[in-house]
Amino acid sequence: MDKNYDIFKVITHTDGGENYVENATKYPSNEDCVGLRGYGVDCNDPSTAKEQFMSVAKYYGNEGKNQFIHFMISFLKETAPDAETGMAITDQVIEPLKESHMILIGEHEKHREKSDFHTHNFVGTTDLETGKMLHPTNKLNYSMAQRMADIIQKPVELVIEKKNKPQEPAGNGENNAEDNKDFTRIFYPHTPPKD
């Protein structure tokens, strides 16, 4: 049975570097872009955004480490029938990270069967006050997916996608397909409090 879910995807990259930072800061404003927003970062100039993310990482000694957690939020047509609704939901979902992390958001419009709008949210991993690194742990990923389900009051599918998946053979000399699968889990909204 095919279920329709809004999606909260976490995309992790096992390799990074300056090229990744450059691509990540350019991608939100690509040809599909219908909205940009930045928290602590210039959303209108990718080269300035790149320098801002890299400067904060360097200041705290985090250069060479993974610069971003990439959250992609894809909305069903009934959840976000227009770009403004998609950006408003995204803004609420990432609220807990705004004070302590630089965030670059790009909203893209791509017409598909079930979805028209999705956002790419590049969250700087360096905490602006402490310099500690934010990691895409289950605690963070689960809480963000649950937050989205509670905000939209609909089930949300959490997808944890691994980029640059290892292609190591299993014990029998073949690639183990199970190791390369993305993780998925459905989060249901909590019952709203009674008045």
Residue 192 pLDDT > 70, yes or no? no
pLDDT score recorded for residue 79 = 98
Tell whether the model's pLDDT for residue 44 goes beyond 90: yes
Q: What is the pLDDT of residue 108?
A: 98
Judged against a pLDDT cut of 60, whether residue 171 lies above it is answered with no
The answer to whether the beta carbons of residues 133 and 63 sit under 8 Å apart is no
Q: Which tokens go with 121? A: 């949210």
> Does 168 have pLDDT greater than 90?
no
Question: Following CA atoms 78, 83, 85, 88 in sequence, which dihedral angle do they give, to the nearest 10 degrees?
Answer: 140
Say if residue 155's pLDDT is above 90.
Answer: yes
Mean pLDDT calculated for residue range 48-71: 94
Contacts of 82 (CB under 8 A, 6+ apart): 117
| Domain coordinates in residue numbering, the chain | 6-187
What does the mean pLDDT of the chain come to?
A: 90
Distance CA 189, CA 195 (A): 17
The CATH class given to the 6-187 domain equals: alpha beta
